[in-house]
Structures are given as C-alpha cells and as structure tokens.
C-alpha cells in the first residue's frame, strides 16, 4: 500500500510541476503524435516520467536511454508483447514467437543507443498496455488505472 501511495504522490508532484512550468504551452508548436493512441500529451508525459523515475530508482539512470528490458525488470505487469510496434532511436521493436527484437529497418549506422525507446514509442507502449488490460487511455481510462496494473501484477 505504501508503494502505491508513493507512486500516486509522485504522479501528482509531476503533474503539478508540469502545469506550473507552463505545460500546455509546450505543445502549441509540437507536431501531433503519429502513433494513433490519441492520449493527451499530459497523460503521455506523466506515463513517461513515472516509468523512467521507477527505473532510475530501482536500477539507476541509464546513460544511453531507456530500453524495454529496463522497464520489464521494474514493472511486473509489463509483457514483452506490450513493446510490439514501439519506436526506438533506430528502428521499431517487433514481437514474434515469444521474442522481442529490434528491427533496425536495414540501418547501417548503428550506435549503442539504437534501442532506446522514443517519446512516440512510449506513447505506443501506453496504448498497447491500455488495450491489453482494457483501459481506454483515449477516453475515460486513467493513467492511475494503467500504473496500478503495471505495479501490482
């Protein structure tokens, strides 16, 4: 219960800090997300912040970005299949035959951060998780519903 309470507190603090910093004005010139999730930018940002903060607390902050294995190690409710179609710095994650792999679309220039999940990838991850657990992140489903599932499973 304490872990859940601390999580809710962290999400609330992140939202207050975001809105205090002028959050809504940050998207006025930003392009619309193309992943198709249609979740509000504030929900996506809170999701990203929360997942990354938990990874930082439990495994340390990665130098070259956050990869699926890091999130899978921290959140028992995540599955490899949740990362299907998630964009990385180079390429997209694919899930087939129980395996998650990074398809780099034939890229020749590969760097050590190629597998880092992008913002658009995180939005896709949120949508995939919501679809799997039956929480509509575009409608009345909340980030709290999604995070509760990811933590408590």
Domain ranges within the chain, ordered by starting residue: 2-22+39-98+113-152
Which range of 10-19, 103-112, 118-127, 132-141 scores highest in mean pLDDT? It is: 118-127
According to the model, what pLDDT value does residue 140 have? 64
d(CA 95, CA 86): 10
According to the model, what pLDDT value does residue 111 have? 82
Q: What are the structure tokens assigned to 108, written together?
A: 């020749």
Q: Quick check: 130 and 136 in contact, CB under 8 A? A: yes
According to the model, what pLDDT value does residue 18 have? 44
pLDDT at 14 over 70: no
Q: What are the structure tokens assigned to 13, written together?
A: 């603090």
Q: What are the structure tokens assigned to 15, written together?
A: 């939202």
Per-residue pLDDT tens digits for 110-124: 788 889 999 999 999
- Identify the residue with better confidence: 136 or 93: 93
Per-residue pLDDT tens digits for 57-73: 999 999 989 999 999 99
CA triple 23-83-41, angle to 5 deg:
15
């Amino acid at each position: 219960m304490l872990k859940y309470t601390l999580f809710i507190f962290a999400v609330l603090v992140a939202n207050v800090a975001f809105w205090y910093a002028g959050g809504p004005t940050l998207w006025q010139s930003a392009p619309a997300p193309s992943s198709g999730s249609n979740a509000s930018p504030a929900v996506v940002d809170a999701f990203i912040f929360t997942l990354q903060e938990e990874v930082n607390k439990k495994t340390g902050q990665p130098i070259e970005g956050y990869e699926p294995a890091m999130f899978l190690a921290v959140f028992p409710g995540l599955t490899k299949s949740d990362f299907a179609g998630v964009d990385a710095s180079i390429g997209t994650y694919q899930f087939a035959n129980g395996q998650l792999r990074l398809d780099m679309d034939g890229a020749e220039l590969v760097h050590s951060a190629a597998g880092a999940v992008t913002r658009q990838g995180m939005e896709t991850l949120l949508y995939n998780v919501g679809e799997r657990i039956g929480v509509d992140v575009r409608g009345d489903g909340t980030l709290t519903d999604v995070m509760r599932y990811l933590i408590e499973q």
